[in-house]
């Protein structure tokens, strides 16, 4: 088993597109927790390589648990990195990016009717508790794992989400 932080980088369905960058094109970023608390993140292409490395090994004990270190960033560091990636893709609101939090009260109330919201609210504490994953055991057992730098990982993730500015989108080849 490989444990990892919150995923991003494989298209839609992650905290990145559903919360952080949901309103990026409108110049707004949101973060689910306090900006000073460290939080663990896993860029999926990097995590996938770790899974492949583990699957290639037939000598690992049956109940091996490994931690994929990925990236650990405070909320402020993550939002700054998203802003940097967005700017590199041509998304730069004239007045700068606005920042917002997550409406946890609304999500808790909505959880009475929407099961997914109820489960999100149950996991909200993870945004308040500083945490990181120690990948040393994984590196000892599988060898060093390459980790894409956060700026490149976020830039690629935003591109996959179709959030690149018009000037950064691939141009059709001239006929």
Percentage of residues of the chain with pLDDT beyond 90: 82
What band does 165 get if pLDDT is binned at 50, 70 and 90? low
pLDDT at residue number 49: 95
- pLDDT for 7-26, tens place per residue? 999 888 999 999 999 999 99
- pLDDT for 102-154, tens place per residue? 999 999 999 999 999 999 999 999 999 999 999 999 999 999 988 999 999 99
- Three-state SS annotation for the chain: CEECCEEECCCCCCHHHHHHCCCHHHCEEECCCCCCCEEEEEEHHHHHHHHHHHHCCCCCCCCCCEECCCEEEEHHHHHHHHHHHHHHCCCCCCCCCEEECCCHHHHHHHCCCCHHHHHHHHCHHHHCCCCCCCCHHHHHHHCCCCCCCHHHHHHHHHHHCCCCCHHHCCCCCCC
Residue boundaries of the structural domains of the chain: 2-168
The CATH T-level fold of domain 2-168 is Rossmann fold (3.40.50)
């Amino acid at each position: 088993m490989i444990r990892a932080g919150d995923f991003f980088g494989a298209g839609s369905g992650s905290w990145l597109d559903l919360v952080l960058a949901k309103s990026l094109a409108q110049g707004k970023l949101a973060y689910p927790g306090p900006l000073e608390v460290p939080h663990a993140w896993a860029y999926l292409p990097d995590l996938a390589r770790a899974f492949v490395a583990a699957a290639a090994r037939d000598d690992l004990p049956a109940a091996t648990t490994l931690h994929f270190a990925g990236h650990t960033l405070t909320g402020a560091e993550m939002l700054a990195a998203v802003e940097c990636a967005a700017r590199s893709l041509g998304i730069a609101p004239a007045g700068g990016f606005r920042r917002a939090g997550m409406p946890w009260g609304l999500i808790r109330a909505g959880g009475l009717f929407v099961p997914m919201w109820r489960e999100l609210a149950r996991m909200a504490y993870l945004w308040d508790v500083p945490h990181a994953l120690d990948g040393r055991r994984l590196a000892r057992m599988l060898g060093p794992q390459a980790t894409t730098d956060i700026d490149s990982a976020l830039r690629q993730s935003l591109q996959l989400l179709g959030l690149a500015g018009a000037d950064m989108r691939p141009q059709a080849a001239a006929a």
